[in-house]
Chains A and B, each alone.
Chain A
């Protein structure tokens, strides 16, 4: 007996060896930089000089009064929640549309999912051919109907909304696939029983489909939300945060503050603030969704 437990402990400790490669990578490339980042955020370091001094929490105080941070924060929330809303509403609609058998549905699925393969940065450049003022494909259509050419990205709020839409449409295939898998997991007998009882299709959707799709909603929302709040590549390709600072997300603002304004200390503070924000929002949202899940079953 005793020997057995000793063997077990040996086994367990041998199994802990399996963690080593992962833990080494996490320590060197996440934990250590994270701690170092907290330290840098309390200095006025410019990113390359040997000389810098501690400024305490001044960088953090500056966060709350900085107009550019406020714009980027609002934009980040729009990118995050806007994309999530569109991707889930549209993703569910597309999944319902493509869940029934008809000719051409697998082609349509592939067409919707294909943009997920394209690098978001390159997708941004592709959209440039649609949105640009001169010769942009969208303006050709506007002018065909007798309208004036529009400089789509010249207006901050409009640029934010267009880029939210581009991001949402590029990745809507992910939500669609998750919802399709969820729909296929609902046993057909529920619908058969409901149909026998004369339940109308809309009520079937409301009382069978939606509640049973809840786990799929949870995962689709989490995936989209974290992706949207981190948005960087599309902005970098289409507006670089402009005009002025009007379409920056917190991520692009970190880049601009570090490499553009050479203010590594402040950039580090904005970065850690972004991390905290995403952490808090995604844990609140997952908690709300998980609580609803218990209610259902």
Chain B
């Protein structure tokens, strides 16, 4: 194949960069700008005003909220991996009518918009004393991310040879031992996808956190940003600094682990 000149790609590539990078450029530009600097956000800040980040950390309690989000994300993902892979094993291995029913039920749950059962879910959590607790938010997030985890694990376990299970059964392993000793160690690649996809969802969740974490010491990152933006209308620069700090962890994780993120996305969409 001979190489054609590809000059027409350049303007499109530039347009893509402008559209997708300008919001981030504006965010960085506001975050480093002194509140006294009144020039356009498009221009570079006259000086790098690090104080915005200092006030974001001290007033906005961004670090505390990052710690809270980390606890919630790690807790949720751990439970998701265990409960998801467990439920996926019988789904992938046995074709009974009961399992088919369980499967369509789980896919149905994927479609429930959280807000549609918000009122009653909130009152259930009040009864269970799950409001303003880590476990209340963790278990709620786990429940709504679980269908995705089960879906990913089921597809993956189906691709593992059944001979593995049969050999284990002949050697006298029950299903429980087969799962933990034979199947579980094979699940690393798909576990990476589950962790990445559901982890980003949990980190970025706003709707559930808004109702469950009302105590300001338990705020997650989106909640801290929301309250910072609504309170300090005078200091938008510090709010921008807070937003910049808040998006750094997932964006950096993506830049370093791109391959896994893309693979996870494709796994979740295509059987």
Which residues from chain A sit less than 8 Å from chain B, CB to CB?
11-12, 14-19, 21-23, 25-26, 28-30, 32-34, 36-37, 39-40, 47, 94, 97, 102, 104, 108, 110-123, 125-130, 135, 137, 140-141, 169, 174, 177-178, 181-182, 215-216, 219-220, 223, 226, 229-230, 232-233, 236-237, 250-251, 254-255, 258, 264, 267-268, 271-272, 274-275, 278-279, 282
Asked if residues B21 and A36 are in contact (CB atoms below 8 Å), the reply is no
Minimal beta-carbon separation of B90 from chain A (angstroms) = 4
Chain B residues, Cβ within 8 Å of A216: 269-270
Asked if residues B246 and A122 are in contact (CB atoms below 8 Å), the reply is yes
- Please give me the residue from chain A that is nearest to B21 by CB atom: A111
Chain B residues, Cβ within 8 Å of A255: 115, 118
| The one of A110, A130, A254 that contacts B26, using a Cβ cutoff of 8 Å | A130
Asked if residues B21 and A21 are in contact (CB atoms below 8 Å), the reply is no
Asked whether any CB of chain A lies closer than 8 Å to the CB of B102, the reply is yes
Chain B residues, Cβ within 8 Å of A12: 94, 96
Interface residues of B in 26-46 (CB under 8 A from A): 26-27, 30, 38, 40-42
Known A12-B94, A130-B23, A177-B266: A102·B117 in contact at CB below 8 Å: no
Chain B residues, Cβ within 8 Å of A123: 23
Interface residues of B in 187-221 (CB under 8 A from A): 200, 203-207, 221
The distance in angstroms between the C-alpha atoms of A250 and B140, with both chains bound, is 21
- Please give me the residue from chain A that is nearest to B261 by CB atom: A113
Known A125-B243, A237-B226, A251-B113: A108·B16 in contact at CB below 8 Å: yes
Minimal beta-carbon separation of A26 from chain B (angstroms) = 6
Asked whether any CB of chain A lies closer than 8 Å to the CB of B86, the reply is yes
Which of B13, B124, B139 has the most chain A CB atoms closer than 10 A to its own CB?
B13
Asked whether any CB of chain A lies closer than 8 Å to the CB of B238, the reply is no
Which of A104, A114, A267, A272 has the most chain B CB atoms closer than 10 A to its own CB?
A114
Asked whether any CB of chain A lies closer than 8 Å to the CB of B240, the reply is yes
Asked whether any CB of chain A lies closer than 8 Å to the CB of B182, the reply is no
| The one of B6, B115, B255 that contacts A102, using a Cβ cutoff of 8 Å | B6
- Please give me the residue from chain A that is nearest to B174 by CB atom: A14
- Please give me the residue from chain B that is nearest to A127 by CB atom: B23
Chain B residues, Cβ within 8 Å of A14: 174-176
Minimal beta-carbon separation of B14 from chain A (angstroms) = 10
Asked if residues B40 and A233 are in contact (CB atoms below 8 Å), the reply is no
- Please give me the residue from chain A that is nearest to B249 by CB atom: A117
Asked if residues A236 and B206 are in contact (CB atoms below 8 Å), the reply is yes
